[in-house]
Each structure stands twice: as C-alpha cells, then as structure tokens.
Amino acid sequence: MTTKLDYGFLNSLDTSSLLSLLRLHPKTESLIQPILKSLPINERDKDAQRKRDDRAESARIFVPPCKNPARREACLADPERFLRTYFPARYRLSFGKDHLAIIQSVIDTATNGGRDATAAPRGRGKSEIVKGLLCYVVAAGLTRFPLAVAATTALARRLFKDFKKKWELNDLLYEDFPEICHPIRALEGAPQRAGRQHIDGVLTQIVWSDEYVSFPKVEGSKYGGVKMTYYGLDAAFRGANIDGDRPDFVLIDDPETRESAKSLYQINDRELILDQDIAGLASQEEHLAIVVLTTVQNSYCLSAKLTDRTKRPAWNGKRFGMVVKWPDNTDLWDKYIELRKESQQKDDPHGIAAVDFYLSNRERMDEGCEMITDHYKKLDVDGLQLVYSAIQQAYNQISDTTREAYETEYQNNPTEQAGPEGIGLTADLVAFRLSGLARGQVPIQTEKITVGIDIGKRFCHWVAVAWWRGAGGVVCDYGVMEVKGNENVRINDKAADIAASEPAIYRSLVDFRDELLGKQFTDADGTVRKINFVLVDSGTYTNAVYEFTRQVGGIFHPSKGLPNYRQKKESTQVLRAGNNQHAQWLAEQRVWLYEIDADYWKQWVHERFLTPTFDENNMLRRGSLSLFEPIGSQTHFTFAKHIASEELLTEFKEGKGIKTFWNKLTANNHWLDAIAYASACTESVGVELIMPSEVPIKPIAVDGDKPAQKPVPQQRVHGNRFKQRPGGWVRSLKRR
C-alpha cells in the first residue's frame, strides 16, 4: 500500500523557510515555486535572494570551444611536436638521442606500465624535458594521477609548481584545451573559489591548491578528476592517495642529491623507498608506471644501480654520454691538452695555441668521433671564436678537470670504486633495541647512572643511562629541556646571538637541575638509584654552562667534544679521566673542563647499539646499549633517528689508502651528542668495557727469571683512576 505524502505544511512556512527548502534539494522546486509566487516577499527576502543569485552568477563559468582542433590533435599524436608547439621557448634546439630516448621511455612506460631508468649527461636539459612531459602524459590521456618525485620535497615542489603554471598561464594551451585551462583561469588566483565554481548549476569540482590539483569536470571532457601531487624522497609515501584514487604514473627526476649519493645509508634507504613505498602505491586493479630520469654520480650510488641491467634488470636501465664514439687519433688530442695547459701557464686561460692546433688538424682530430649532439657553446673573446665543435668543447673540459671527472659528469661512466662502507647502524635497529624495563627502571646490577646534556638555543636534549659491569647500559630516560626566554631572540650576529641567549639557558639549567635530581630510578628490588655523574655540553654556550657548573657543582661538570682529539700530557692542570678524555683546570673560569674524543664516543655508542641486547641466557649483555620499553603508541623512532643521524664511513682510495670519516645524514643529532657525553662518563665513574680482574692472577715464575712484581693497585680520585704518585699521594680533583 502506497501512502500519499501531504505537502500542505508548506503553506504554513514563511518566505525565508521556503527559500531554504528550495536550496535544499532541486526536487522541491516544483512544489515550492507556486507557493512562492503567491506569497508577498519583503525587502529583506529580496535582498538575500539577490545576493545569493549574484554569488551563484559570479561562480558560473562558460567554457569556450577549442580554437584549433587540428593543431591539438596533431600535437597529441606527437609528443615532440607537443613540446615544441606549446613551449617553444623551452625547447629551442633540436632534440638529441638522449632526449628522444627519454621521451620514448616516458611514453612507453606510461602506456604499458613497468619500470624504466635512464641516465642522461649533466646539463642536457633533462629536467625541462620532465616538466614538459608531465603536461603531455596528462593531455594525451596516458595517466589520470601522475606523481612528481624528486630527491627532496623542495625539488619536487618545483616540478609541481611548473606543472600548474603551464596550465594557468600558457595561452596556446588555453586555446586548444579550454576545458582544462578556462576553469583554472576563472579562479583568478584564488583557490578558495573552486568550491563554488559551476557550469549551469553543475559544480566543476576543481581543486587547485598548493598541495595537489584535481582538473575540472566539464561535460564532454575526459580530463575531469585528473589529479596530480608531488613528493620528495625525504617524505613518507605510504597511503599517498587523494579521494580514494592512487597514483598510476610516477615520474622521478634525479632521485639523489650529491650528498645522498655518497651515503650508503641514504642509498639503501632510497632504494627501499622505490622498491617498497613507491611500488606499494599501486592498487590491485591497476598497474603503476615508474620512470626514473637521472645522472650517475659514482659507481655505487642508487642511479648506478638502477641503470645497470646486470644489477637491476627490471628497470630496463640506459645510460647516455656526450661522446658516443671517441676520436680515432687520441694522440693528437693529447697534444691538444698539452698545448692548452702550457698556454694557461703563460696567462692564456683560453689556450689560443691549442685552438690553432685544432683548426690546423681538425679533419684528422674529428675522425671516428660521434657526439650525442652537435650543439656546443661558442666562446668569443674580443671577436675571436675559440670553440668550433662539440668534441673540442669536451676535450676543453677534460683538460681543465680530469678524464675521470668527465666520464662521471658527462658520460655516466664513473670509475669503478667500492665506495665508503658504514658499520650498518640504522634508526630501525636502534628503535627496537629494547631492554624489557619500564621507563625509570634500572637493572638490578646497576653500578652507576650517568647523564649527558646537549645544549641548544631553544631546546636542550638529555639522556640518562644506567650502567653495569662491562659497560652494558640501558637508557632509562631521555627528554628535552625547553629553554624559556629565548623565543624572541632574533640577532643576525652569531656572537651577539649567543651572548643574548646565555642568560635564559643558565636559568633553565638551574630549574632543570632540581627536576633531574628529583627523578626516581629504581631497580627490581625497589632500591632507588641516584645519578652519579653529569656532563653538560659547553661548546657553544660556554659562559652559561660554566656559571651553572660553578654554582651547582657536585655531579655536574662542563664538557666539550673535540673532533680532532689529542690526549694532553698530565700535569698539575691536566688530569687523565680515561683513555679518550681528560679534565683540564681552567683557572680563569674556575672550572674543570672535561674534553672528550667526540668521534671515539659516537662510534662507541654505535657499536654498543649494534651489540645484541641479550646473551644466550636471555640476560642483558655486557657491552650493549638498549632502550626502555615504550608504552602504548609511544615509539623511540625520533630518538633513534638522532642516534643514526651520523655514520662512520671507511673508504679506500687509490694512492691514498684508507680514509675514515663521519658522514652527517641529518642536522638533528642532539640525542647522539647527549648519549656520547653520558657514555664518556663511564670511564670517569669507573665502568669500562674491560674491567680489571676481581681475582688477582698469580704471576708464573720462569726459570732464571725473577718472579713478576705484584702490580700496585690504582687509586680512584673523584671517580677517576690515576697512576700512583711517588710518596703515596694522589692529586685531588677538588674545585679551586
């Protein structure tokens, strides 16, 4: 049985209510309009309706027809023609073999899916090709959700902004693709207008924000809902979708910076991002096309891997060099380089003698040579042309640098090298080195608790570690001390900036002292353990830390990490505080300054985290470092990233031997510095990796030899071990 609805209640509503119902749903219009016509409308209602009509009319757009359909179809059928027609200022020169290969790889991969990696010489306009092709694959309908990716978010944002600018401002694109460009121009640079834009009452649903775009939906257009956004390889890719849509085409322009190409950690990390995060963007129903356009910077970088078909064949790698075939008469070119260098030694930077030699022997010197392009930069000095061919330009660069450098920069053929090797510590490994103890709980065998504090202008990072015999340690707590009072310090001069910041740092340290000493560290028996030693970084904000330690004293000591540490000889002013640190009396400042070997203790921390947490008896292992158990959704990943922010690399270089150096991966290394200070305290409080035997070993007498003398036990002063002095006295570390 069908119930007939009674719409009589509409007659009892006032005009404003009826107008509200009219806007609520289009189907109510036929019911409400007759009533509206019969009701008197006051001036207020008229004014409100007029304003609504004005707003609706201002958001209405009319899309013009395509001005040149023949040109549009011809360009869509030919990507090279598309680039030259719509962006003639960007592509003035003819395309070389590398350019055509890049265009073809992008089109093939976008059409058929899969992966492709192409390395082109530096300075060949590869990024410009990328920018133009992003527009083409959208216009040609090869993708509905391209993703622009670069080594960093800032570089990826440039690709995204260039894409938007082309559709916003290019007049030829506006003429031939009005269904895309006209709604964009109608926004007049105000993305907030997009939500109301409509064509005859139908919203275009355009989005034109700084983070992503979605093309307008226009009747008869195939581009409605086409999306684009961007990511850097330093950002999180997981879950990168918009309104339920996932990217179907990823174009990666130079996945590496010069710094990341040298770091094994970053190389491996970016390779995992490509293989897991980006590849994981694909939906189950659709394929994901990935194209990498790059330049090989060394023999072990990510780009070298992706373009080497023997290592990563799935990427269909290709490498292009400026010189396709080297000249046959290399002896003449060796002579050319010799003449150029001799001229430069005689104050002729352009090597006129070498130029004359080339012009006299050009035919023979060019024999057998094939270049990727015939274009070169003519060099004119005082009306005299100095460069006459692309191969001459190449040999000028070889002469001014090295053949090895040219092979790397312009040939994508770097000299084979092993590359620097790290010890393998990662943030993930650190984050999961868990002791099983709660925050603030220490092992029952704990001997000492030490704290390191890294001082910053706004925030000071601190770490507390409980140590037991054999330098096994558990990070029982860590955190950040906020420096209050420095929020408004804005001084360009570094010295003045430090001076202005130090009073606030001093006050914050004084307040933090009570908080730190009030922390309860307990073992399984409920025994409360106290902090035994604290090192405070005095490297930058020296005066504040010196004054704090002078006033507070006790377990707090100023410290400085030295990158090129040298153990100072003991004297009345210098006392040995361990194998890789010493305490120096600064008479003028009236403090004992602990100078530590920064490189040694950072490496020491990394090696301790690499040591497995538990032994075969499921006991905390000596010589290991671990973290307290996080609660709920808490994780140690931020802390772990600080610990792994630097890596110690070892590299063999031909003729130079083995070189060891620290490679800084990120600027946030504050907790690494803090835990290095806390670890350096171990020697000061008598907790070492290799401890003296608890049971004296009786020396074995050998026939004809005197029995070995029983060693004189070392005495401890102020928590340190120092050599026994003649007369039985030991120098004290009392404050003066």
Question: How confident is the model over 387-425, as pLDDT tens digits?
Answer: 999 999 999 999 999 998 899 889 999 887 656 666 778
pLDDT attached to residue 54:
59
Coil, helix or strand at residue 442: coil
Q: Please check the confidence at residue 660 and state whether its pLDDT lies above 90.
A: no
Nearest to 636 by CA among 602, 681, 675: 675
Nearest to 154 by CA among 254, 34, 24: 254
pLDDT attached to residue 434:
93
Is residue 323 within 8 Å of residue 371, measured between CB atoms?
yes
Reported as type and span, the H/E element at residue 430 is helix 427-431
pLDDT attached to residue 160:
95
Q: How many angstroms separate the most distant Cα atoms in the chain? A: 132
CA dist list (Å): 386 to 341, 344, 400, 724: 15, 14, 15, 76
Reported as a pLDDT band with limits 50, 70 and 90, residue 189 is confident
Buried b (16+ CB within 10 A) or exposed e, 20-58: ebbeeeeebeeebeebbeeeeeeeebeeebeeeeeeeee
pLDDT attached to residue 734:
39
- What percentage of the chain exceeds 70 in pLDDT? 81
Is residue 187 within 8 Å of residue 230, measured between CB atoms?
no
Angle at 454 between CA 494 and CA 540, to 5 degrees: 25
Exposure of 160 by Cβ count < 10 A (0-12 exposed, 13-18 middle, 19+ buried)? buried
Q: Please check the confidence at residue 57 and state whether its pLDDT lies above 70.
A: no
Q: Please check the confidence at residue 36 and state whether its pLDDT lies above 60.
A: no
3-state secondary structure 503-567: HHHHHHHHHHHHHHHCCCEECCCCCEECCCEEEEECCCCHHHHHHHHHHHCCCEEEEEEECCCCC
Reported as type and span, the H/E element at residue 249 is strand 249-253
What is the arithmetic mean of pLDDT over 8-36? 58
Coil, helix or strand at residue 450: strand
Spatial separation of the C-alpha atoms in residues 686 and 625, rounded to whole Å: 17
Reported as type and span, the H/E element at residue 396 is helix 390-400
Question: How confident is the model over 542-578, as pLDDT tens digits?
Answer: 999 999 999 998 999 999 998 888 888 888 888 888 7
pLDDT attached to residue 497:
79
pLDDT attached to residue 656:
63
pLDDT attached to residue 667:
83
Extended strands (E) in 84-166: 114-119, 146-150
User: What would the two tokens of residue 168 be?
Assistant: 């916003």
Question: How confident is the model over 112-141, as pLDDT tens digits?
Answer: 989 999 999 988 888 899 999 999 999 999
User: What would the two tokens of residue 158 be?
Assistant: 């440039």
pLDDT attached to residue 122:
84
- More confident site: 77 or 20: 77
Q: Please check the confidence at residue 699 and state whether its pLDDT lies above 90.
A: no
User: What would the two tokens of residue 314 be?
Assistant: 């799935």
Q: Please check the confidence at residue 590 and state whether its pLDDT lies above 70.
A: yes
Coil, helix or strand at residue 708: coil
pLDDT attached to residue 41:
62
Mean of the per-residue pLDDT values for the chain? Answer: 84
Question: How confident is the model over 346-357, as pLDDT tens digits?
Answer: 888 889 999 999
What is the arithmetic mean of pLDDT over 34-58? 63
Nearest to 402 by CA among 386, 419, 414, 387: 414
pLDDT attached to residue 386:
92
- More confident site: 429 or 732: 429
- How far does the chain reach from its first CA to its final CA, in angstroms? 103
**pTM assigned to the model:** 0.57
- What percentage of the chain exceeds 90 in pLDDT? 53
Nearest to 92 by CA among 121, 128, 127: 128
Spatial separation of the C-alpha atoms in residues 665 and 264, rounded to whole Å: 10
Tell me how far the alpha carbon of residue 88 is from its chain's centroid. 35
pLDDT attached to residue 196:
87
pLDDT attached to residue 710:
44
Residue for token pair 């976008």: 110
Exposure of 605 by Cβ count < 10 A (0-12 exposed, 13-18 middle, 19+ buried)? buried
Q: Please check the confidence at residue 364 and state whether its pLDDT lies above 90.
A: yes
pLDDT attached to residue 712:
42
Q: Please check the confidence at residue 690 and state whether its pLDDT lies above 80.
A: no
Reported as a pLDDT band with limits 50, 70 and 90, residue 30 is low
Eight-class DSSP state of 470: T
List % helix, strand, coil for the chain (3-state, nearest 5): 40, 20, 40
Is residue 731 within 8 Å of residue 721, measured between CB atoms?
no
Task: Write the single-letter amino acid at 686.
Answer: G
Spatial separation of the C-alpha atoms in residues 176 and 700, rounded to whole Å: 98
User: What would the two tokens of residue 48 be?
Assistant: 């409100």
Spatial separation of the C-alpha atoms in residues 661 and 402, rounded to whole Å: 25
Spatial separation of the C-alpha atoms in residues 88 and 112, rounded to whole Å: 29
What is the arithmetic mean of pLDDT over 159-166? 95
Is residue 284 within 8 Å of residue 277, measured between CB atoms?
no
Reported as a pLDDT band with limits 50, 70 and 90, residue 721 is very low
Q: Please check the confidence at residue 719 and state whether its pLDDT lies above 60.
A: no
Coil, helix or strand at residue 117: strand
Coil, helix or strand at residue 144: coil
pLDDT attached to residue 487:
64
Radius of gyration of the chain (CA): 36
